Amino acid sequence: MDLSQIKSVSVICLGNICRSPMGEVVLRDRFEKYGLDIAVNSGGTGNWHIGEDANPRTLQVLRAKNYLVNHHAKQVDNSWFDKTDLFLAMDLSNRSNLLKLAGKNYAHKVLMYRWFDEDLSHLPQDHQDLEVPDPYYGTLKDFELVLNMVEKAADGFINKLRQDN
Ligand code: 4NP
């Protein structure tokens, strides 16, 4: 995919309270740092947490690394496909739900978030190793590991963008 035309990115997980808010915040940080004019938001495929702040442990690990967070959980729907250039799914079930919402016309806009990790970009989009594991029922350590994965792939995303521009 040619990233040079990308003006908006949506990061998608299940609840939009753990993984995708991290992706949103980290990508926004990188876009600002490199002067890239790309809008970023996030959403969940599920509706349970609409309007909620991010999970307390998401907030804790982000703030520990000095990221600013101001989050209200949202559910992705098919109206997003007109206005967003690229959807980044956190796991394969998010991807499959997004592809259902996208239909044939927009399926090309859906990629796995972690595919941009330079150590994983040789993998096909449906490979299990591209999943960012759901930390919701895990420990604070799981949230820290997720944030590390999210940062590594965000750095790969920026490198690829800068190559394509
Ligand atoms: P997320 O984590 O998809 O990374 O935001 C989850 C949040 C909530 C639930 C599952 C995963 N839940 O079952 O409510």
Q: Which CATH number goes with the domain that contains 38?
A: 3.40.50.2300
Query: Could you tell me the distance, in angstroms and rounded to a whole number, from the CA of residue 165 to the centre of ligand 1?
Result: 35
Per-residue pLDDT of the chain (165 residues; tens, 9 = 90+): 778 899 999 999 999 999 999 999 999 999 999 999 999 999 999 999 999 999 999 999 999 999 999 999 999 999 999 999 999 999 999 999 999 999 999 999 999 999 999 999 999 999 999 999 999 999 999 999 999 999 999 999 999 998 877
Residue found under tokens 């029922």 = 137
Which amino acid would we find at residue 117? D
Rounded CA-CA distance 143/14 in Å is: 15
Supply the range of the domain harboring residue 128.
3-164
- The pTM score is 0.98
Q: Is the CB of 58 under 6 A from ligand 1?
A: no
Specify the number of domains making up the chain.
Answer: 1
| pLDDT for res 1 | 73
| pLDDT for res 2 | 78
Query: Could you tell me the distance, in angstroms and rounded to a whole number, from the CA of residue 109 to the centre of ligand 1?
Result: 23
Q: Which residues are tagged catalytic?
A: 13, 19, 134
